[in-house]
């Protein structure tokens, strides 16, 4: 499989990790930003102009300046994969209070998505298969798919890989998950494809939690991602594998980018808060280590993010 | 009659007198005003009824006297009641027949003249005209003698020689004033016009701000999406989609949908196409209703009209005319600038036109007032209006005066029965007869502003002149003039008392007629 982040996908598979590593070496002080300092920018749950995890939002990301679109997928009761982020439906859909696993495909077809202001739209909640089929092939775009489902069966995960392989044979997609066992299942079906492990940062989560929970943030510690941890990840999941970390985790592990570069592990960053904080954290990181991650999952537009990143 | 019977009859007579005097006061208001034929007819019923009671009371007294003289209980109470009721009914019917006979007896000339007389009388009542020869007293017709004159004017005017010629030049003016009076005077019409225009302007502003024609091509999909989303959202709040609604809840869901969207009764909850079609039908129907929403004067106003075009629309003009009670041929403008210009531009031409048309009846040949003629009915109504007032007043006065005399007689009877020293008095009837004679003499000799006026004198002379040289005719004319004089003077004197009885004793009983404010 040749699905991998950004322009690396066009290169032969054996060179993949080396090219990904090269993407980590970006000079932050360069006056002209070639593709935002080489950073791949993925639209978080699709472009902000469309409803979260909707076909239109992904299409907008496809048509816009983003390098890809990040989406979240879960399974229905009948095993079909659909785009949805939350544990329960309601915040972004017409249907409320149910988990996707409770619904048959017939019911999912009747669900409509809400826009980012919470207003219901006429757009149907999408199936992953439909998205994969309808989204045009673009060699400059990549689909970043997070397997949101908790404890999915390997069979279900392998089903995703097989479906994507059929519908998007250009390989310009990759899968991520917070559970490395899920990634191991993916690896069985996809020996060469890039996989990303999402590292949840409890401290960052606590900071974004409601005010009464925020004191917890000081008590919990961000995960330690050292070289040994990265090597273990490579061993358990198999390369090419990367880590997708919160900027808080990145700040708590100042050597992460250097270690990842050394091991050829791509690093993507995300942030639960505004893009401005995200860009500021990366700028600080670049000043300290001279390195930037492979890519970032952003909520706004690439131009705005790059402007903020390039500020002195 | 026994003492108690005399007392009872006296009380009944006093009670009747109160009603008769009060009725007389109100009758003068009616016949001396501008009452319609229907109002005159209505109060006539009271008059005939009271006259019937008056005769029944006389009969009762006679029957009671006969019963006392017979020494037996004959006639019986039932017989007396029967005869009293019968006599009252006969009098009631007879008076009706009398009036109808007098009206039917009028010839075409009388009917034609009556039309003119009524015209002048109405103009007098409404203060639209002053009669030459009647002292210039603006308050005269508000006073009893003035009202009496107005009531008697038609009866006297009938005898005025060549009356039609004498008022010919003034007819059009009188008719015009009558028409204007019906319209509510020029200033009043203009005020109504201004109010109507103000309201119309507000209506126009609402019409102008109302959304224009709906773009159905865009509106239908939008409304379809909204309605379907609302439906899904409502279901979603309960954790359902159309296909997952539990069986037991499907019926209530369908009812709820049908309350908002006209889907068929057998619509399936997941039938989005059917739902959308129903919404489209609903939108089209609402758009159709909205397009015809503003209906004025029975006509739909098309959208997008400017103020001038809106005002000139046939429906708006019809509504304005209806509100101002103007005929259909009048076309109004949005503005006239002033009441004077409005009067000149709208009221005067309208009044002229209507008056000219009405004048045709007054100028019509006598033949047109013959039975079957174009103006027969109009002339007969006018003749009735001329004949009824003096007849009604005459019988009312007759009843009042006769029973007043009778009451005096009964009171004397009671007094002689109660005072031992007076028991020897005989021929008590001479007292009321003397009183009547004295009253007649007093009324004949007395005068007031009306009877002293040159006009009254002229009409008096005209009545005598109209009687010709025939002795019987002159006697009739003199009797008529005497009666009219008594009424003119007597009403002037009696009206305040009668009105007091009506307002105080009978608590302002109006006999079905309320005079309009002067």
Report chain B residues whose CB lies below 8 A from the CB of A51.
none
Q: Which of A95, A106, A122 sits opposite B236 (nearest CB)?
A: A95
Beta carbons of B274 and B180 less than 8 angstroms apart: no
- The residue ranking higher by pLDDT, B306 or B252, is B252
Q: Is the pLDDT of residue B511 over 60?
A: yes
Show Cβ contacts of residue B49 under 8 Å, excluding neighbours closer than 6 positions: B88, B92
Three-state secondary structure call for residue B291: helix
Q: Do A98 and B232 touch (CB under 8 A)?
A: no
Q: Do B241 and A107 touch (CB under 8 A)?
A: yes
In this prediction, residue B324 carries a pLDDT of 79
Q: Is the pLDDT of residue A299 over 90?
A: yes
Residue (of A262, A218, A231, A265) closest to A245 by Cα position: A265
Q: Is the pLDDT of residue A42 over 60?
A: yes
pLDDT tens digits for range B448-458: 877 887 777 77
In this prediction, residue B293 carries a pLDDT of 62
Angle value at C-alpha A250, between A29 and A202, nearest 5 degrees: 155
pLDDT tens digits for range B175-231: 887 777 777 666 677 888 888 889 888 888 887 776 666 677 788 898 999 999 999
The pLDDT confidence band at residue A147, using thresholds 50, 70 and 90, is very high
In this prediction, residue A68 carries a pLDDT of 95
d(CA A213, CA A235): 36
Which residues, in sequence order, are bridge partners of residue A246? A270
**Chain B residue with minimal CA distance to A105?**
B243
User: Hey, is the C-beta of B235 within 8 angstroms of any chain A C-beta?
Assistant: yes
**Chain A residue with minimal CA distance to B233?**
A94
Q: Is the pLDDT of residue B137 over 80?
A: no
**Chain B residue with minimal CA distance to A97?**
B239
User: Hey, is the C-beta of B228 within 8 angstroms of any chain A C-beta?
Assistant: yes
Q: Is the pLDDT of residue A96 over 70?
A: yes
Beta carbons of B245 and B235 less than 8 angstroms apart: yes
The pLDDT confidence band at residue B278, using thresholds 50, 70 and 90, is very high
Average pLDDT over residues B41-48: 85
Q: Do B232 and A96 touch (CB under 8 A)?
A: no
d(CA B64, CA B8): 11
From residue B388, give the alpha-carbon distance in Å to each of B235, B368, B395.
Answer: 81, 23, 11
Q: Do A111 and B241 touch (CB under 8 A)?
A: yes
Q: What share of chain A is helix, strand, coil (3-state, %, to 5)?
A: 40, 20, 40
Mutate to test the interface with B, among A95, A109, A118 (most CBs of B within 10 A): A95
Q: Is the pLDDT of residue B134 over 80?
A: no
- The residue ranking higher by pLDDT, B13 or B303, is B13
Show Cβ contacts of residue B456 under 8 Å, excluding neighbours closer than 6 positions: B134, B149, B450, B488
Chain B nearest-CA distance from A111, in A, is 7
User: Hey, is the C-beta of B222 within 8 angstroms of any chain A C-beta?
Assistant: no
Q: Is the pLDDT of residue B322 over 80?
A: yes
**Chain B residue with minimal CA distance to A121?**
B229
Chain A nearest-CA distance from B218, in A, is 15
In this prediction, residue A262 carries a pLDDT of 94
Three-state secondary structure call for residue A52: coil
Q: Do B244 and A103 touch (CB under 8 A)?
A: yes
Strands A68-75 and A142-147: parallel
Show Cβ contacts of residue B251 under 8 Å, excluding neighbours closer than 6 positions: none
Residue (of A219, A197, A69) closest to A141 by Cα position: A69
Report chain A residues whose CB lies below 8 A from the CB of B243.
104, 106-107, 110
Chain A nearest-CA distance from B236, in A, is 4
User: Hey, is the C-beta of B508 within 8 angstroms of any chain A C-beta?
Assistant: no
In this prediction, residue A76 carries a pLDDT of 95
Residue in the structure block whose two tokens are 């002209």: A32
d(CA B126, CA B128): 5
Q: Is the pTM here over 0.80, yes or no?
A: no
In this prediction, residue A167 carries a pLDDT of 93
pLDDT tens digits for range A260-290: 999 999 999 999 889 999 999 999 999 888 8
| ipTM of predicted assembly, 2 dp | 0.80
pLDDT tens digits for range B465-480: 776 777 887 888 888 7
Angle value at C-alpha B333, between B331 and B335, nearest 5 degrees: 155
pLDDT tens digits for range B346-392: 888 888 888 888 888 888 888 998 888 888 988 888 888 888 877 78
Report chain A residues whose CB lies below 8 A from the CB of B236.
89-90, 93-96, 111
In this prediction, residue B132 carries a pLDDT of 62
In this prediction, residue B128 carries a pLDDT of 63
Query: What is the pLDDT of chain B when averaged over all its residues?
Result: 83
Q: Which of B225, B237, B270 sits opposite A110 (nearest CB)?
A: B270
Q: Is the pLDDT of residue B292 over 60?
A: no
Average pLDDT over residues A76-105: 95
CA-based Rg of chain B, rounded to a whole angstrom? Answer: 37
Average pLDDT over residues B394-403: 82
In this prediction, residue B138 carries a pLDDT of 63
Q: Which of B225, B237, B242 sits opposite A110 (nearest CB)?
A: B242
Task: Lowest mean pLDDT of A37-51, A232-246, B223-237, B296-310, name the range.
Answer: B296-310
User: Hey, is the C-beta of B234 within 8 angstroms of any chain A C-beta?
Assistant: no
Cis amide linkage into residue B179, ω under 30° from 0: no
Q: Do B225 and A103 touch (CB under 8 A)?
A: no
Q: Is the pLDDT of residue A7 over 80?
A: no
In this prediction, residue A101 carries a pLDDT of 94
φ/ψ (deg, to 5) at B447: -145, 170
Q: Do A94 and B232 touch (CB under 8 A)?
A: yes
Report chain A residues whose CB lies below 8 A from the CB of B237.
96
Residue (of A138, A162, A170, A161) closest to A69 by Cα position: A138
User: Hey, is the C-beta of B239 within 8 angstroms of any chain A C-beta?
Assistant: yes
Average pLDDT over residues A136-154: 91
In this prediction, residue B487 carries a pLDDT of 80
Q: Is the pLDDT of residue B300 over 80?
A: no
Chain A nearest-CA distance from B272, in A, is 9
In this prediction, residue B291 carries a pLDDT of 56
Q: Is the pLDDT of residue A309 over 50?
A: yes
In this prediction, residue A113 carries a pLDDT of 96
d(CA B164, CA B162): 5
In this prediction, residue B516 carries a pLDDT of 66
Q: Do B243 and A106 touch (CB under 8 A)?
A: yes
The pLDDT confidence band at residue A24, using thresholds 50, 70 and 90, is very low
From residue A201, give the alpha-carbon distance in Å to each of A43, A216, B191.
Answer: 21, 13, 82
Average pLDDT over residues B127-145: 66
Beta carbons of A260 and A24 less than 8 angstroms apart: yes
In this prediction, residue A1 carries a pLDDT of 40
Six-digit token string for B18: 């109160």
Report chain A residues whose CB lies below 8 A from the CB of B232.
94-95, 110-112, 120
Q: Do A93 and B236 touch (CB under 8 A)?
A: yes
In this prediction, residue A58 carries a pLDDT of 97
Residue in the structure block whose two tokens are 């009978």: B506
Report chain A residues whose CB lies below 8 A from the CB of B241.
94-95, 103, 107-108, 110-111
User: Hey, is the C-beta of B233 within 8 angstroms of any chain A C-beta?
Assistant: yes
Show Cβ contacts of residue A185 under 8 Å, excluding neighbours closer than 6 positions: A152, A154, A157, A158
Beta carbons of B266 and B258 less than 8 angstroms apart: no
In percent, the amount of chain B with pLDDT more than 70 equals 91
pLDDT tens digits for range A180-192: 999 999 999 999 8
Q: Is the pLDDT of residue B304 over 80?
A: no
Q: What torsion, rounded to 10 degrees, do the Cα atoms B191, B195, B198, B202 define?
A: 180
d(CA A43, CA B497): 105
In this prediction, residue B238 carries a pLDDT of 92
Query: What is the pLDDT of chain A when averaged over all its residues?
Result: 86
Mutate to test the interface with A, among B228, B239, B279 (most CBs of A within 10 A): B239
The pLDDT confidence band at residue A28, using thresholds 50, 70 and 90, is very low
Report chain B residues whose CB lies below 8 A from the CB of A104.
243-244
Q: Which of B225, B237, B241 sits opposite A110 (nearest CB)?
A: B241
């Amino acid at each position: 499989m040749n699905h991998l982040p950004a322009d690396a996908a066009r290169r032969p598979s054996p060179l993949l990790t080396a090219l990904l590593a090269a993407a980590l070496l970006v000079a932050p002080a360069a006056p002209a930003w070639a593709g935002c300092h080489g950073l791949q920018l993925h639209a978080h749950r699709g472009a902000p102009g469309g409803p979260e995890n909707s076909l239109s939002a992904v299409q907008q990301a496809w048509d816009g300046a983003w390098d890809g679109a990040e989406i979240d997928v879960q399974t229905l009761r009948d095993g079909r994969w659909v785009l949805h982020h939350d544990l329960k439906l309601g915040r972004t859909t017409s249907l409320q209070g149910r988990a996707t696993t409770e619904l048959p495909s017939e019911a999912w077809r009747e669900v409509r998505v809400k826009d980012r202001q919470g207003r219901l739209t006429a757009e149907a909640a999408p199936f992953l298969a439909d998205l994969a089929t309808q989204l045009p092939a673009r060699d400059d775009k990549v689909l970043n798919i997070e397997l949101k489902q908790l404890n999915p069966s390997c069979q279900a995960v392998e089903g995703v890989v097989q479906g994507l392989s059929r519908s998007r044979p250009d390989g310009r997609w990759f899968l991520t998950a917070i559970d490395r066992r899920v990634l191991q299942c993916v690896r069985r079906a996809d020996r060469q494809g890039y996989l990303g492990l999402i590292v949840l940062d409890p401290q960052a989560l606590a900071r974004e939690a409601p005010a009464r929970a925020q004191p917890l943030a000081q008590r919990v510690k961000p995960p330690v991602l050292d070289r040994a941890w990265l090597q273990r990840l490579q061993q358990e999941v198999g390369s090419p594998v990367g880590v997708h970390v919160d900027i808080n985790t990145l700040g708590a592990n100042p050597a992460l980018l250097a270690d990842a570069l050394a091991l050829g592990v791509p690093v993507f960053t995300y942030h639960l808060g505004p893009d401005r904080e995200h860009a500021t954290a990366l700028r600080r990181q670049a000043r300290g280590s001279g390195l930037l991650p492979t890519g970032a999952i952003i909520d706004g537009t690439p131009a705005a993010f790059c402007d903020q990143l390039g500020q002195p | 009659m026994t003492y108690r019977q005399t007392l009872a009859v006296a009380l009944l007579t006093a009670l009747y007198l109160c009603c008769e005097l009060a009725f007389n006061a109100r009758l003068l208001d009616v016949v001396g005003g501008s009452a319609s034929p229907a109002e005159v007819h209505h109060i006539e019923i009271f008059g005939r009824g009271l006259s019937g009671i008056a005769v029944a009371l006389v009969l009762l007294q006679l029957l009671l006297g006969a019963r006392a003289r017979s020494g037996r209980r004959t006639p019986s109470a039932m017989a007396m009641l029967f005869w009293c009721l019968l006599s009252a009914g006969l009098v009631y019917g007879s008076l009706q027949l009398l009036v109808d006979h007098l009206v039917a007896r009028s010839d075409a000339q009388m009917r034609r003249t009556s039309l003119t007389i009524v015209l002048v009388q109405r103009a007098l009542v409404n203060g639209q005209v002053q009669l030459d020869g009647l002292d210039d007293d603006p308050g005269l017709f508000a006073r009893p003698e003035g009202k009496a004159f107005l009531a008697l004017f038609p009866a006297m005017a009938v005898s005025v020689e060549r009356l039609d010629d004498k008022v010919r030049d003034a007819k059009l003016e009188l008719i015009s004033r009558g028409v204007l009076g019906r319209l509510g005077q020029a200033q009043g019409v203009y005020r109504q016009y201004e109010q109507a225009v103000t309201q119309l302007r507000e209506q126009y502003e609402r019409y102008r701000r109302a959304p224009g024609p709906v773009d159905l091509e865009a509106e239908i999909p939008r409304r379809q999406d909204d309605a379907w989303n609302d439906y899904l959202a409502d279901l979603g709040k309960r954790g359902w989609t159309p296909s997952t609604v539990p069986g037991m809840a499907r019926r209530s869901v369908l009812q709820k949908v049908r309350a908002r969207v006209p889907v068929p009764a057998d619509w399936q909850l997941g039938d989005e196409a059917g739902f959308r079609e129903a919404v489209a039908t609903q939108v089209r129907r609402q758009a159709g209703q909205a397009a015809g929403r503003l209906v004025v004067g029975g006509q739909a106003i098309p959208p997008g009209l400017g103020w001038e075009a809106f005002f000139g629309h046939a429906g708006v003009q019809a509504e304005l005319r209806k509100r101002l009670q103007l005929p259909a041929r009048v076309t109004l403008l949005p503005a006239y600038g002033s009441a004077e210009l409005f009067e000149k531009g709208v009221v005067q031409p309208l009044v002229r036109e209507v008056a000219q048309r009405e004048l045709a009846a007054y100028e019509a040949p006598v033949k047109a007032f013959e039975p079957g003629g174009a103006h027969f009915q109009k002339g007969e109504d006018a003749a009735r209006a001329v004949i009824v007032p003096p007849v009604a007043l005459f019988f009312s006065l007759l009843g009042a005066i006769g029973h007043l005399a009778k009451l005096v007689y009964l009171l004397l009877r009671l007094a002689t029965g109660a005072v031992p020293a007076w028991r020897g008095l005989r021929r008590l009837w001479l007292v009321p007869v003397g009183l009547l004679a004295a009253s007649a003499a007093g009324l004949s000799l007395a005068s007031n502003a009306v009877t002293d006026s040159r006009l009254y004198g002229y009409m008096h002379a005209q009545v005598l002149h109209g009687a010709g040289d025939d002795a019987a005719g002159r006697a009739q004319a003199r009797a008529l003039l005497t009666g009219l004089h008594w009424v003119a003077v007597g009403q002037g004197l009696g009206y305040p008392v009668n009105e007091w009885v009506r307002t105080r004793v009978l608590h302002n009983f109006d006999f079905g007629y309320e005079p309009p404010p002067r």
